Structures are given as C-alpha cells and as structure tokens.
Amino acid sequence: MDTINHFTDLYAAEKIAKNYDAVISLGHKLDSKFLKEGCKYLFRDFDDVSLEEIAMIGNSHNCPAEHDIRLIIEFVKELLPSDKLLIHCYAGYSRSAAGLLIAKCERDKKTIYEARNELYDSRVPDKLVPCPNNMMVHTYLMIK
C-alpha cells in the first residue's frame, strides 16, 4: 500500500507541516511552532554535498554519512502505515528528493526505480524538477 509522502523546501514546509504526522528535516531545522502536536520529527544536519563535489575537493566534511541514512531508514520504518510524511531541505529538490526515495523504498517497498518514477508527483507545492542527492542515494544503496 502506498503512503502519502511529500518533499518540499523549507519555506513551504513551514506553511504545511501541521498537516503531517511526521517530518524529516535535512540540513535545516524546522521550528517546533510549525509542527502539529505529537508530530514525529527527525533532523539531520548535513550539507547538500554530491559525489562529484567530494571527488573534486577531496573533503567530505558535513556531507550525508552512512549514520544519517541509517537514522532516516530507522525513522521511516517506525512510522505507522497511516502516518503522513513530509521531508524537506532548504531548496526542496536534492536532499529532500533523496530522502523521499529512501522513504518510498523502505516504507512502500518500492524499488529505487519505482520510487524515482513517482518522485516528480510527490513534490509539494509545485513541479520543480527534482535532482536527488546522489551521495545520499549511493549510501542508501550501499547499505541495502
């Protein structure tokens, strides 16, 4: 059964987070005043660093690490089937898009390809073309 999963930017998240039972913030913390009471919340503080950038600069400081991805997986697995999930980052197209791929694979038992095909329709509130953070996706696939 598919669950309702959406991803967006920080400012849209501030406006709509109260409609969700669970929120994952990637890189930018959502103030608790924007969350509904009892909302399950996960914050991971890392930058939007890609595999290419690490190869170019040789520095993986504050990039998404295996520990971060494992925490996202654990958080998603603990959600109830009825929990409505929102994932956001600052711009809403890279980290949050990768987070949604992970959530759909873990929660909805989708393959990475199926999740990627559904990604475009999961964007809230507009149809900005997503570009999932390849470091997060690569780390997730290595774990699996």
pLDDT in tens, the chain (144 residues): 456 689 999 999 999 999 999 999 999 999 999 999 999 999 999 988 877 777 776 666 678 889 999 999 999 999 998 999 999 999 998 999 999 999 999 998 999 999 998 888 888 877 778 999 998 999 999 998
pLDDT at 101: 96
As given in the structure block, the two tokens for residue 130 are 């997503």
Are 92 and 12 within 8 A, CB to CB?
A: yes
pLDDT at 123: 85
pLDDT at 1: 43
* Separation between Cα atoms, residue 110 and residue 129, nearest integer Å: 21
Domain spans in the chain, listed from the N-terminal domain onward: 5-143
pLDDT at 70: 97
pLDDT at 122: 86
Are 24 and 99 within 8 A, CB to CB?
A: yes
* Separation between Cα atoms, residue 138 and residue 141, nearest integer Å: 5
Work out the angle at residue 42's Cα, subtended by the Cα atoms of residues 95 and 139, and round it to the nearest 5 degrees. Answer: 45
One CATH from 3.40.50.920, 3.90.190.10, 3.40.140.10, 3.40.50.300 for 5-143: 3.90.190.10
